Amino acid sequence: MRRTPSSTKTPSQRQLRVGELVRHALAEILVRGEVMDPDIEAMTITIPEVRMSPDLRLATAYVMPLGNADATKAVAALDRNRKFLRGAVAKRVNLQFSPDVRFRVDETFEKGSRIDALLRSPAVRRDIAPDPADETGGD
């Protein structure tokens, strides 16, 4: 039997549960202003998702600053404070090992906007509009 890479496997219930716990811990840390970094203090950052590796030693947090803040600047600021955030998460989430946290820009909203714009384009509207010739006028 051929094995698939772990990145294509569906996450286990444990991975999903721990990812949600880490997400809540990170969000709480950011909301309370526990990170002393001027770039992080100057913006509001949301964390829509945290994905855990199968061994629960790596957490990938997808972040998105609200407003017109620079997402790459937010990720860079969080990366600078990675060590502090890892320790703060370890205090809140009871795991055998404290997961290493890495940050990535969440692009799901951007992708959704592009798909929405495509669906609203005139070419697509023309293709999905009912054809008047197909409608029957009755008996």
Residue closest to 77 by CA, chosen among 111, 116, 35: 35
Asked if residue 137 has pLDDT above 70, the reply is no
All structural domains of the chain: 11-128 (3.30.300.20)
Report pLDDT for 131: 66
Average pLDDT on 5-32 reads: 88
Q: Give the Cα separation of 21 and 14 in Å (integer).
A: 11
Mean pLDDT over 29-41 rounds to 92
As to burial, measured by CB atoms within 10 angstroms (0-12 exposed, 13-18 middle, 19+ buried), residue 138 is exposed
Q: Is the pLDDT of residue 53 over 90?
A: yes
Task: Transcribe 22-53 into DSSP letters.
Answer: HHHHHHHHHHTT-S--HHHHTS-EEEEEEEE-
Contact call for residues 20 and 14 (beta carbons, < 8 A): no
Per-residue model confidence as pLDDT tens digits over 108-119:
766 777 777 777
Q: Is 68 helix (H, G, I), strand (E, B) or coil?
A: coil
Q: Looking at the predicted structure, is the pLDDT value of residue 76 above 50? A: yes
Which residues make Cβ contacts (< 8 Å) with residue 113, sequence separation at least 6?
Answer: none
User: Kind of pairing, strands 45-52 and 58-65?
Assistant: antiparallel
